[in-house]
Structure 1
Amino acid sequence: MNDPLELLENKNIRIPSFLSDKYNPIGCGLLGVGAAFFVNWAMRRPLVSGIQKHIILGAGGVALGSWLDSKREAHFAERDAVLRHYVQLHPEDFPKTPRVKYADVLESWTPIR
Protein backbone atom coordinates (compact mmCIF):
# COMPACT_ATOMS: atom_id res chain seq x y z
CA MET A 1 0.00 0.00 0.00
CA ASN A 2 1.14 3.54 -0.75
CA ASP A 3 0.53 5.57 2.38
CA PRO A 4 0.85 9.36 1.86
CA LEU A 5 2.01 9.87 5.45
CA GLU A 6 4.77 7.36 4.92
CA LEU A 7 6.21 9.58 2.19
CA LEU A 8 6.44 12.55 4.57
CA GLU A 9 8.05 10.72 7.49
CA ASN A 10 11.69 11.30 8.35
CA LYS A 11 13.15 7.82 8.67
CA ASN A 12 16.78 9.03 8.60
CA ILE A 13 17.56 6.58 5.79
CA ARG A 14 18.97 9.28 3.52
CA ILE A 15 22.71 9.60 4.00
CA PRO A 16 23.80 13.13 3.12
CA SER A 17 26.82 13.47 0.88
CA PHE A 18 30.11 14.85 2.17
CA LEU A 19 29.63 18.26 0.54
CA SER A 20 25.90 18.70 1.21
CA ASP A 21 26.41 20.88 4.28
CA LYS A 22 29.54 22.60 2.96
CA TYR A 23 28.40 23.53 -0.56
CA ASN A 24 26.61 26.82 0.25
CA PRO A 25 29.21 28.23 2.69
CA ILE A 26 32.10 27.38 0.37
CA GLY A 27 30.29 28.77 -2.66
CA CYS A 28 29.35 32.02 -0.93
CA GLY A 29 32.89 32.36 0.47
CA LEU A 30 34.36 32.01 -3.01
CA LEU A 31 31.81 34.50 -4.27
CA GLY A 32 32.98 36.99 -1.60
CA VAL A 33 36.64 36.54 -2.54
CA GLY A 34 35.68 36.85 -6.21
CA ALA A 35 33.88 40.09 -5.43
CA ALA A 36 37.06 41.45 -3.85
CA PHE A 37 39.01 40.48 -6.97
CA PHE A 38 36.39 42.14 -9.15
CA VAL A 39 36.49 45.38 -7.15
CA ASN A 40 40.28 45.49 -7.46
CA TRP A 41 40.05 44.79 -11.20
CA ALA A 42 37.38 47.49 -11.68
CA MET A 43 39.50 50.04 -9.79
CA ARG A 44 42.55 49.10 -11.89
CA ARG A 45 44.52 47.93 -8.89
CA PRO A 46 46.60 44.77 -8.55
CA LEU A 47 44.17 41.89 -7.99
CA VAL A 48 45.64 40.82 -4.64
CA SER A 49 46.08 44.30 -3.14
CA GLY A 50 44.18 44.95 0.07
CA ILE A 51 44.25 41.34 1.23
CA GLN A 52 42.15 42.23 4.28
CA LYS A 53 39.26 42.94 1.90
CA HIS A 54 39.56 39.42 0.48
CA ILE A 55 39.62 37.87 3.96
CA ILE A 56 36.67 39.91 5.23
CA LEU A 57 34.49 39.30 2.17
CA GLY A 58 35.41 35.60 2.13
CA ALA A 59 34.56 35.16 5.82
CA GLY A 60 31.36 37.15 5.35
CA GLY A 61 30.43 34.93 2.42
CA VAL A 62 31.00 31.78 4.51
CA ALA A 63 28.83 33.22 7.30
CA LEU A 64 26.13 34.20 4.81
CA GLY A 65 26.21 30.75 3.20
CA SER A 66 25.87 29.03 6.58
CA TRP A 67 22.96 31.28 7.50
CA LEU A 68 21.23 30.66 4.17
CA ASP A 69 21.73 26.91 4.60
CA SER A 70 20.12 26.94 8.06
CA LYS A 71 17.21 29.06 6.79
CA ARG A 72 16.71 26.63 3.89
CA GLU A 73 16.66 23.63 6.23
CA ALA A 74 14.17 25.38 8.53
CA HIS A 75 11.94 26.26 5.57
CA PHE A 76 11.83 22.69 4.27
CA ALA A 77 11.26 21.28 7.77
CA GLU A 78 8.33 23.64 8.30
CA ARG A 79 6.91 22.83 4.86
CA ASP A 80 7.07 19.09 5.55
CA ALA A 81 5.42 19.57 8.96
CA VAL A 82 2.58 21.58 7.40
CA LEU A 83 2.04 18.95 4.69
CA ARG A 84 2.14 16.11 7.23
CA HIS A 85 -0.39 17.92 9.44
CA TYR A 86 -2.71 18.58 6.48
CA VAL A 87 -2.63 14.93 5.42
CA GLN A 88 -3.39 13.87 9.00
CA LEU A 89 -6.38 16.23 9.17
CA HIS A 90 -7.79 15.21 5.77
CA PRO A 91 -7.19 11.46 5.30
CA GLU A 92 -10.20 11.17 2.99
CA ASP A 93 -8.38 13.27 0.38
CA PHE A 94 -5.33 10.98 0.47
CA PRO A 95 -6.50 7.37 0.23
CA LYS A 96 -4.09 4.49 0.56
CA THR A 97 -3.71 2.95 -2.87
CA PRO A 98 -2.47 -0.54 -3.65
CA ARG A 99 0.95 -0.71 -5.23
CA VAL A 100 0.83 -1.35 -8.97
CA LYS A 101 3.54 -3.55 -10.42
CA TYR A 102 4.82 -3.69 -13.97
CA ALA A 103 3.62 -7.27 -14.28
CA ASP A 104 0.04 -6.15 -13.62
CA VAL A 105 0.19 -3.24 -16.03
CA LEU A 106 1.92 -5.08 -18.87
CA GLU A 107 0.20 -8.47 -18.58
CA SER A 108 -2.01 -7.79 -21.61
CA TRP A 109 0.97 -7.01 -23.83
CA THR A 110 2.17 -9.89 -25.85
CA PRO A 111 5.10 -9.97 -28.24
CA ILE A 112 4.25 -9.70 -31.93
CA ARG A 113 5.02 -12.93 -33.78
Structure 2
Amino acid sequence: MAASTRVGEQEIERRESYIRAGHRERHIIDPFTWSYPVKGAGAMFGISLASLYLQNRWNKKPYYYAIVPRLLLIGAASAIGYAAGALRERHYQTRDAVIEHYIQLHPEDFDHFNDRNGRSFSQVLLPWYPRRTQYTKYD
Protein backbone atom coordinates (compact mmCIF):
# COMPACT_ATOMS: atom_id res chain seq x y z
CA MET A 1 0.00 0.00 0.00
CA ALA A 2 1.10 3.50 -0.64
CA ALA A 3 2.22 5.56 2.33
CA SER A 4 -0.33 8.23 1.45
CA THR A 5 -3.23 5.85 2.15
CA ARG A 6 -2.08 5.00 5.66
CA VAL A 7 -3.74 6.78 8.54
CA GLY A 8 -2.06 7.33 11.88
CA GLU A 9 -3.22 5.72 15.12
CA GLN A 10 -4.35 9.04 16.56
CA GLU A 11 -6.56 9.70 13.56
CA ILE A 12 -8.09 6.23 13.77
CA GLU A 13 -8.84 6.69 17.47
CA ARG A 14 -10.37 10.10 16.76
CA ARG A 15 -12.63 8.64 14.08
CA GLU A 16 -13.69 5.73 16.27
CA SER A 17 -14.51 7.99 19.21
CA TYR A 18 -16.48 10.33 16.93
CA ILE A 19 -18.64 7.50 15.62
CA ARG A 20 -19.60 6.09 19.03
CA ALA A 21 -22.82 7.27 20.61
CA GLY A 22 -22.52 9.97 23.24
CA HIS A 23 -19.10 11.21 22.11
CA ARG A 24 -20.27 13.86 19.66
CA GLU A 25 -20.82 17.47 20.58
CA ARG A 26 -24.49 18.10 21.39
CA HIS A 27 -26.53 20.57 19.32
CA ILE A 28 -30.13 21.53 20.00
CA ILE A 29 -30.95 21.66 16.28
CA ASP A 30 -29.45 18.25 15.43
CA PRO A 31 -31.48 15.42 17.05
CA PHE A 32 -28.83 12.87 16.01
CA THR A 33 -26.54 14.27 18.71
CA TRP A 34 -29.12 13.99 21.50
CA SER A 35 -28.86 11.26 24.12
CA TYR A 36 -31.28 8.33 23.99
CA PRO A 37 -33.47 9.53 26.89
CA VAL A 38 -33.90 12.96 25.30
CA LYS A 39 -34.70 11.37 21.93
CA GLY A 40 -37.32 9.14 23.54
CA ALA A 41 -38.93 12.01 25.43
CA GLY A 42 -38.92 14.22 22.33
CA ALA A 43 -40.44 11.52 20.16
CA MET A 44 -43.21 10.76 22.65
CA PHE A 45 -43.89 14.47 23.15
CA GLY A 46 -44.23 15.04 19.40
CA ILE A 47 -46.36 11.95 18.80
CA SER A 48 -48.73 12.69 21.69
CA LEU A 49 -49.03 16.36 20.73
CA ALA A 50 -49.83 15.45 17.13
CA SER A 51 -52.34 12.78 18.16
CA LEU A 52 -54.17 15.14 20.50
CA TYR A 53 -54.30 17.81 17.80
CA LEU A 54 -55.70 15.31 15.28
CA GLN A 55 -58.25 14.08 17.80
CA ASN A 56 -59.45 17.66 18.35
CA ARG A 57 -59.69 18.21 14.60
CA TRP A 58 -61.61 14.94 14.13
CA ASN A 59 -64.09 15.78 16.89
CA LYS A 60 -64.33 19.43 15.77
CA LYS A 61 -63.18 20.78 19.14
CA PRO A 62 -60.99 23.84 19.72
CA TYR A 63 -57.30 23.30 20.51
CA TYR A 64 -57.83 24.31 24.16
CA TYR A 65 -60.51 21.67 24.78
CA ALA A 66 -59.66 19.74 28.00
CA ILE A 67 -56.19 21.22 27.95
CA VAL A 68 -55.13 20.48 31.55
CA PRO A 69 -55.72 16.69 31.49
CA ARG A 70 -54.22 16.50 28.04
CA LEU A 71 -51.10 18.37 29.13
CA LEU A 72 -50.79 15.89 31.99
CA LEU A 73 -51.09 13.04 29.48
CA ILE A 74 -48.42 14.63 27.28
CA GLY A 75 -46.14 14.94 30.32
CA ALA A 76 -46.75 11.31 31.30
CA ALA A 77 -46.07 10.13 27.75
CA SER A 78 -42.85 12.16 27.64
CA ALA A 79 -41.76 10.63 30.96
CA ILE A 80 -42.42 7.14 29.57
CA GLY A 81 -40.37 8.03 26.48
CA TYR A 82 -37.54 9.31 28.68
CA ALA A 83 -37.59 6.08 30.71
CA ALA A 84 -37.56 3.97 27.54
CA GLY A 85 -34.58 5.96 26.23
CA ALA A 86 -32.73 5.54 29.53
CA LEU A 87 -33.41 1.80 29.42
CA ARG A 88 -32.09 1.65 25.85
CA GLU A 89 -28.97 3.59 26.79
CA ARG A 90 -28.37 1.25 29.75
CA HIS A 91 -28.79 -1.76 27.48
CA TYR A 92 -26.20 -0.47 25.01
CA GLN A 93 -23.76 0.40 27.80
CA THR A 94 -24.10 -3.08 29.28
CA ARG A 95 -23.66 -4.71 25.87
CA ASP A 96 -20.52 -2.70 25.14
CA ALA A 97 -19.10 -3.50 28.58
CA VAL A 98 -19.70 -7.22 28.10
CA ILE A 99 -18.05 -7.17 24.66
CA GLU A 100 -15.02 -5.20 25.89
CA HIS A 101 -14.64 -7.55 28.85
CA TYR A 102 -14.74 -10.57 26.55
CA ILE A 103 -12.10 -8.97 24.31
CA GLN A 104 -9.88 -8.37 27.37
CA LEU A 105 -10.26 -12.01 28.45
CA HIS A 106 -9.55 -13.43 24.97
CA PRO A 107 -7.14 -11.06 23.17
CA GLU A 108 -5.76 -13.82 20.92
CA ASP A 109 -9.12 -14.06 19.12
CA PHE A 110 -8.97 -10.39 18.12
CA ASP A 111 -5.38 -9.96 16.93
CA HIS A 112 -6.47 -9.60 13.32
CA PHE A 113 -8.25 -6.33 14.17
CA ASN A 114 -5.01 -4.68 15.31
CA ASP A 115 -3.55 -4.51 11.78
CA ARG A 116 -5.74 -1.72 10.45
CA ASN A 117 -3.74 -1.01 7.34
CA GLY A 118 -0.99 -2.72 5.44
CA ARG A 119 -2.99 -5.75 4.29
CA SER A 120 -4.16 -6.20 0.75
CA PHE A 121 -7.77 -7.01 -0.07
CA SER A 122 -6.85 -10.61 -0.89
CA GLN A 123 -5.83 -11.06 2.76
CA VAL A 124 -8.94 -9.35 4.10
CA LEU A 125 -11.70 -10.74 1.88
CA LEU A 126 -12.71 -14.37 1.66
CA PRO A 127 -12.38 -16.01 -1.75
CA TRP A 128 -15.54 -16.30 -3.83
CA TYR A 129 -16.16 -19.30 -6.02
CA PRO A 130 -19.13 -18.90 -8.36
CA ARG A 131 -21.46 -21.86 -8.61
CA ARG A 132 -23.27 -21.64 -11.87
CA THR A 133 -25.47 -24.19 -13.52
CA GLN A 134 -23.42 -24.36 -16.72
CA TYR A 135 -20.39 -25.57 -14.73
CA THR A 136 -22.07 -28.51 -13.00
CA LYS A 137 -21.09 -32.00 -14.04
CA TYR A 138 -23.70 -34.57 -14.84
CA ASP A 139 -22.68 -38.20 -14.55
- Whether the TM-score (by the shorter chain) exceeds 0.5 is yes
Once residues 62 and 27 of structure 2 are traced to their aligned partners in structure 1, the CA distance between those partners, rounded to angstroms, is 36
The answer to whether the 8 Å contact 1:31/1:61 transfers is no
Using the alignment, how far apart are the partners of 1:72 and 1:16 within structure 2?
20
Q: Distance in 1 between matches of 2:84 and 2:27?
A: 18
The RMSD of aligned alpha carbons is 3.1
> Which structure's residues are more often helix, by fraction?
2
**Superposition misfits of 4+ residues, deviation over 4 angstroms:** none
Deviates more, 1:59-68 or 1:71-80: 59-68
CA positional deviation for 1:79:
0.5
Distance 1:56 1:67 in 2: 17
Q: CA deviation at 1:59?
A: 0.7
Q: Is the 8 A contact 1:29 1:62 kept in 2?
A: yes
Contact 1:32-1:58 within 8 A present in 2 as well = yes
Matched, 1:51 2:67: yes
Shift of 1:95: 0.6
Identical columns (%): 25
Structure 2 residue runs without a partner (length 5+): 1-7, 29-33, 121-139
Number of equivalent positions: 96
Aligned to 1:98: 115
Check if 1:17 corresponds to 2:33.
Answer: no
Where relative contact order (Cα < 8 A, 6+ residues apart) is larger, the structure is 1
Q: Normalized against structure 2, the TM-score is what? A: 0.54
